[in-house]
Amino acid sequence: MKNLMRIQKEKNKYTKRKAFTLVEVIVAMFIFVLVISGSTIVFANTFKAYQSSKHMQESLENAQYALSLLSKTFRTSSVVDVAGDKSSVTVFNYSRNECVKYSFSGGTLQQETSGALGISACAGMTFTTNDVMTSGNVTGKFYASKSVKKGSPGAKVGMITVTMTIISGNSKINIQTSSSLRDYGVSDITL
């Protein structure tokens, strides 16, 4: 009998133990799903923003490199022509004896080149190469002033300013560079 009572006591001890009810388990699972869903959305948005900023950074670096190349060319050139809408500029590069046309077209900066015997040969020239210089979506304008010969009214060394807008999604970055033309022999100006 003592054994029976002891077994009964042991049995009662285990049956009085508390457990989670089905409702508590469902509520806990619901809260867990909400936390995981929220974390996933935050991670996805963070990753998307990272990709967007990485793309913008690459486009900006590419555009800065292109502007550096333009400045280098402009320093050894004379302005031949600027389009009325300022979307393109044609220069004669003395260091390479070639005509170079830069233009913003189709969301890119393009460079067209062709060999020439002198600045007068650049007018109305047909270009032999066409290279895209930028990636991404860029627009811009060229503001140029030609060199004016010493002794003429308003004698000066010419200058070209390039403004460029890099567009990526809803973001825009504006960059600009200005270069003085070092065509001192053409302008007959000494510094």
| Residue 129 CB-half CA count within 13 A | 10
All residues at 6 or more sequence positions from 163 whose CB lies less than 8 Å from its CB, including other chains:
140, 141, 143, 174, 175, 176
pLDDT digits (tens, 9 = 90+) for 104-145: 988 889 998 888 777 777 877 778 778 888 877 899 999 988
Compute the distance between CA of residue 102 and CA of residue 140 in angstroms, rounded to an integer. 11
pLDDT digits (tens, 9 = 90+) for 62-103: 889 999 999 999 988 888 888 888 888 988 888 888 889 999
Residues 61, 134: contact at Cβ < 8 Å? no
pLDDT digits (tens, 9 = 90+) for 144-178: 888 777 767 767 778 899 999 998 878 889 999 99
pTM: 0.72
